[in-house]
Chain A
Amino acid sequence: MRRAATAPLRAEVKVEDSDPTAAFGSLLELQGLRRDFGSVRAVEDATFEVEEASICGLIGPNGAGKSTVLGLIAGALRPSGGSIVFAGEHIGRLPMYQVARRGVIRTFQIAGVFEQLTVLENLLVGAQGLRGENLREALLGKRYWRSDERDALKRARGLLSRFELGAKEDERAGTLSGGQKRLVEIMRALMARPRLLLLDEPTAGVAPVMVHRMQEALTELRRDGLSMLLVEHSLGVVENLCDHVVVMAQGRTLARGTMSELRQRQDVRDAYLLG
């Protein structure tokens, strides 16, 4: 496989130093998480952990509640019960933007790019703490925020080069292919320098060669200390990437282990692997 002649991903995506409280345990802990939509219980009891600098896979049949769990962690949905603890802090009641500011960044099942913005602008929106992003700072003028933007531009172009989308930086994101949109979404998430990346089916619709590149990049990020929770239907990708895997079925956590361990379990095979 060709490798882009660029600096390591670490140079563009600086993973924030770990929280000392999380150094001895899990970065994310879900305990008895529940979510009802009216009389329908979408998530009954999700209980699992994501450790520091690891990739945790979340698999299960359609309707198992995987994407709902991702939405609950990201703050898009409020839990009906249970707890979500991130780096020692309960985040279950926080709005989405507050969860994101704590370092939990998600991607969406259907790539959520900003269609009218260029690819480069999409990535710049991902940057955190940029000066000029509120009214007062905007009115202070370019001199006030130009240096921050210049730094963010440099990082964004590094990522685009790494994912071989540099030629597309001035294209409107809405004109890209489905796979390219997914890559833009992942790069944009990385611009936020997350501590925990929530990936909702990142390889869906992505060309095989780019899936390989994406896996390589995610492995590199994990090595650099980034934690990830990956909802993915391609078991090959899950097997290649994930340190451990959580299986959900009918809104409950069914099992946890490595893919080879899970393949041995009859209940998992019944629920998912053998359909």
Chain B
Amino acid sequence: MSAATQFYLSTILTYAGIDVIACWGLNLQFGVAGILNFCFIVFQAAGAYTAAVLTLGPASHNGFQTYFGGARLAFPLPILAAGAVGAILAMLIGLVTLRRLRRDYQAIVMLVVSLIATLIATNAIGLVNGANGLSLVPKPLASTLHLSPYGLKYEWFFAGLAVGIAAISYFFVHRVTSSPFGRVLRAARDNEQAAAALGKNVFVLRLAVYAVGGALAAVSGALLVETISAWSPASWLYPETFSFFAAIVIGGSGNNFGALLGALLVPVGFIEAVRFLPQFGGPQLIGSLQWIVIGLLLLAFLWFWPRGVVPERRRRFPST
């Protein structure tokens, strides 16, 4: 296998691991709990920025980039910190949005949060270097393993790392979805009033799963910034959220394997693979067509196959 092919495959595998983690996070929030989290990309961004500043080290006064709270932590601390920041951010946003607002208003508020977050990151230069974003983020463990961070061996190592962290994420996601907690979340998604009338504190349950989804999104963001080594507001504009929603709807909302399939079909198979197509038309044409096709696919599935390719499965219980 040629080096170019190996580079291509390892890159795709890395993105697959990262996007699958993100899609499982959104599936918990949207597919299982019914939260229309239109600011999902903010959690991924928060994770990416956290991991970047905790890997870059303190910002120098004369440096080309300025940011807040820099440190040089060893792997896997930046990723763990990113997960914690994602969970805390989700709790803060959830406390405001999930308590009193109806589900459609929650979606509007979260979309507004996404827009505000981008504006803050762009304009508060001292926070995360404004519109230029952060770059030259060191690749984790490259020096420890004596590997060139841009060599093929490191690419395969990082792909394995992303898949490994995805496997660990699945362990937690599966425990949530297969438990009575997951069942109550799905019940509250179907009928919030009826769940509350059975003694379930729907707000607290949703807040908890919102935090787990936020943590997973942030971990995916941390891995993403550590593989591409740069992150700026242009990486996480609000339409990015809808590519993840498209993945969940197309793959199968409420089903972990559906979310995995959706991640492989949409953010990986569709968006990432298209990057490798030969350029045609104007420089922005392929990018714009991607969004149009994703939008049309989303509409088609919502209209004709709203339960997706792998629908939420019916739980059957053994005889007692």
Contacts and interface: CB of A to CB of B under 8 A. Distances in A.
A268 B84 CA distance: 63
Contacts of B199: 97, 100-101, 105, 128, 192
Nearest to A122: B187
Given A97-B199, A135-B208, A124 B183 contact: yes
B201 interface: yes
Contact of B193 (A76, A124, A130): A76
A150 B191 CA distance: 25
A201 interface: no
Interface in B171-203: 172, 175-176, 178-184, 186-187, 189-191, 193-202
A189 B198 CA distance: 7
A76 B201 CA distance: 13
Contacts of B184: 125, 133
Interface in A62-103: 74, 76, 95-97, 100-101
A106 interface: yes
B317 interface: yes
Contact of B317 (A108, A134, A153): A153
Interface stretch (A45-53, A112-120, A204-212): A112-120
B205 interface: yes
- Chain A contact-residue range equals 35 or more
Interface of A: 74, 76, 95-97, 100-101, 105-106, 108, 112-118, 120-122, 124-126, 128, 130-135, 137-139, 141-142, 145, 148-150, 153-154, 157, 169-170, 172, 185, 188-189, 192
Given A96-B197, A105-B197, A121 B183 contact: yes
A132 B184 CA distance: 10
Q: Identify whether the interface residues of B are mostly helix, strand, loop, or mixed.
A: helix
Given A121-B183, A133-B184, A142-B178, A112 B196 contact: no
A133 B181 contact: yes
Contacts of A96: 193, 196-197
Contacts of A126: 198
Interface in B145-195: 172, 175-176, 178-184, 186-187, 189-191, 193-195
Contacts of A169: 317
A134 B191 contact: no
Given A97-B200, A105-B197, 20 more contacts: A76-B196, A96-B197, A108-B197, A112-B191, A115-B191, A117-B183, A117-B190, A121-B183, A122-B187, A128-B199, A132-B180, A132-B181, A133-B200, A135-B209, A137-B179, A137-B180, A138-B176, A138-B180, A154-B320, A189-B198
Contacts of B196: 76, 95-97, 100
Nearest to A169: B317
B175 A157 contact: no
Given A116-B254, A138-B175, A138-B181, A74 B197 contact: yes
From B194, B197, B317, name the one whose CB has the most chain A CB atoms within 10 angstroms.
B197
B316 interface: yes
Contacts of B316: 118, 170
A100 B198 contact: yes
B315 interface: yes
Contacts of A132: 179-181
B177 to A, nearest CB: 9
Contacts of A101: 199
B4 to A, nearest CB: 43
Interface in B288-319: 312, 314-317
A113 B190 CA distance: 8
A240 to B, nearest CB: 26
